[in-house]
Amino acid sequence: MNALMATYAPLPVTFSHGTGAYLYDTHDVRYLDGLSGIAVTNLGHAHPAVTEAIREQAGRLLHTSNYYHIAAQERLADTLTRVTGMERAFFCNSGAEANEAAIKLARLYGHQRDIEQPEIIVLEDAFHGRTLATLSATGNRRIQAGFEPLVAGFVRAPRNDMEAVHNIARNNPNVVAVLLEPIQGEGGIRPLDSDYLHALRQFCSEQGWLLMLDEVQSGNGRTGHFFAYQGLNLLPDVVTTAKGLGNGVPIGACLARGTAAGVFAAGHHGSTYGGNPLACAAAQAVVDTLESESLYGKATHLGERVRAALRAEAGDDAIVDLRGRGLMLGIELARPCADIMQRALDAHILLNVTAGNTVRLLPPLIMSDEQADTLGAGVGRVIREFHKAGTAREG
């Protein structure tokens, strides 16, 4: 028992340090990290470029205020917009806050067009965060239950269903934007259909709606590009990210282009910490390292190795579906598998389970080929044992 509010039920392990793809517990036992703190430590633990950037910045200046120019923030905005095809950036401290910024931006965009009750289309099984607006946008009743009244202004649609979007457009003149994850993360690692996303892009342009992508989990090099949309030849109006951007130093960003980039003016939005010198120095090192170490291509290559090793070890009958892009992988099993986290921990592998029956892997992009093979084979073994235990019980 400790003095923490019981919002999490942690597994019985405490880590003391990490290096690369490994974490070490307080007894110095080594674990292969297949989760990266949920897509955060994409460059692994204690990456020298990030450590050095933090050390250097911390010795000079941690924080000033957005009342003054912040050179590190302006530089990071320049880099991120160059890398992503966006034009302007707003910095905050988390994924939920990045989505809050996008939601506010869309509402203001609506008001600037005389739409007084603007609404945003969101998808079933979406996850956008735990603040009141973002849990209202989330398509999971378990996350919303008990926190009603929900924030108004969201219209729900099934994923990959353009007809549903057309229907909403016919009946609802207040829609101003669509917010979605190009690869649903908490919803079970579900990449949306490319045809659907392209049709949506075109329809948003025709309707004057903003296409807003939540790349909090899929972004920062995880899927073979800085953002997943870049692998689809698609350009949103707004994109949000966080998690891997700071490799563990909290930072989020809402990026925009075109009309969307000019919606916010002074006083419309803000954050005390958002984009402070320390967070921006860490994120700059992350983005620079993704490029200098060619980690985009590596994510694709390593993802293929993990898949191959995993399939070989688990056997096809243990896996219902293997989904994802790059190093964002979901292995759907035939039954709920929450206890696989403990089974994997016993095998000194870190992973987690999402959407009840999907094992989720989000390993660091800096793994060696050998580590990718070991991870795939290790997870495959855990899945095979889990499958065998289930069939033994049934039989």
On the CB side of 312, how many CA atoms lie within 13 Å of its CA?
12
Could you tell me which stretch among 24-32, 126-134, 155-163, 314-322 binds ligand PLP (CB under 6 A)? 126-134
List the one residue from 100, 186, 237, 332 that touches ligand PLP (CB under 6 A).
Answer: 186
- Residue closer to ligand PLP (CB basis): 96 or 103: 96
Of the candidate spans 46-54, 95-103, 258-266, 343-351, the one that interacts with ligand PLP by CB under 6 A turns out to be 95-103
Q: Does 100 bind ligand PLP (CB under 6 A)?
A: no
Site residues (CB under 6 A) for ligand PLP, limited to 55-94: 94
Q: Which helix (H) or strand (E) holds 295?
A: helix 295-314
Amino acid at 315: G
Beta-carbon neighbour count of residue 207 at 10 Å? 14
Residue 216 assigned ligand-binding role = yes
With CB under 6 A as the contact rule, the residue among 214, 237, 313, 332 that binds ligand PLP is: 214
The answer to whether 19 touches 45, Cβ cutoff 8 Å, is: yes
Closer by beta carbon to ligand PLP, 95 or else 110: 95
Does position 289 bind ligand PLP by CB under 6 A? Answer: no
DSSP annotation of 151 reads: P
Per-residue contact string for residues 325-344; x = within reach of ligand PLP by CB under 6 A: --------------------
Please state the closest distance from residue 166 (CB atom) to ligand PLP, in A: 25
Annotated ligand binding at 246? The verdict is no
Does the annotation list 50 as a binding residue? no
**CA triple 328-333-337, angle to 5 deg:** 95
- Of the pair 243, 387, the CB lying nearest ligand PLP is at 243
Is residue 193 a contact partner of residue 187, using CB atoms and an 8 Å limit? no
Contacts of 63 by beta carbon, 8 Å cutoff, 6+ apart:
273, 276, 277, 278
CA dihedral (369, 373, 374, 378) in degrees, to 10, reads 160
Single-letter code of the amino acid located at 139: G
Task: Show contacts with ligand PLP in window 25-44 (CB under 6 A).
Answer: 38
Residue nearest to ligand PLP (CB): 95
- Which span sits near ligand PLP by CB under 6 A: 54-62, 65-73, 121-129, 286-294? 121-129
**Looking at beta carbons only, is 220 or 371 nearer to ligand PLP?**
220
| Binding-site member from 44, 129, 364, 376 for ligand PLP (CB under 6 A) | 129
What are the DSSP calls for 182-228, one per residue? SEESTTTSEEPPHHHHHHHHHHHHHHT-EEEEE-TTTTTTTTSSSSG
Burial 167-204 (b: 16+ CB within 10 A, else e): ebeeeeeebbbbbbbbbbbbbbbbbbeeeebeebbebb
Segment contacting ligand PLP by CB under 6 A, of 181-189, 315-323, 347-355, 372-380: 181-189
- Sorted by sequence, the CB contacts under 8 Å of residue 204 that are 6+ apart come out as 177, 178, 210, 211, 237
- Between 235 and 264, how does the x/- string for binding to ligand PLP read (CB under 6 A)? -------x----------------------
Helix (H) or strand (E) holding 384: helix 369-394
Across the beta sheet with 349-350, what order do the strands follow?
Answer: 15-19, 22-25, 30-33, 349-350
Smallest distance from ligand PLP to CB 67, Å: 25
Binding site for ligand PLP (CB under 6 A): 38, 94-96, 99, 127-129, 181, 185-186, 214, 216-217, 242
Residue positions forming the annotated binding site for N(2)-acetyl-L-ornithine: 130, 271
Residue positions forming the annotated binding site for pyridoxal 5'-phosphate: 95-96, 127, 214-217, 272
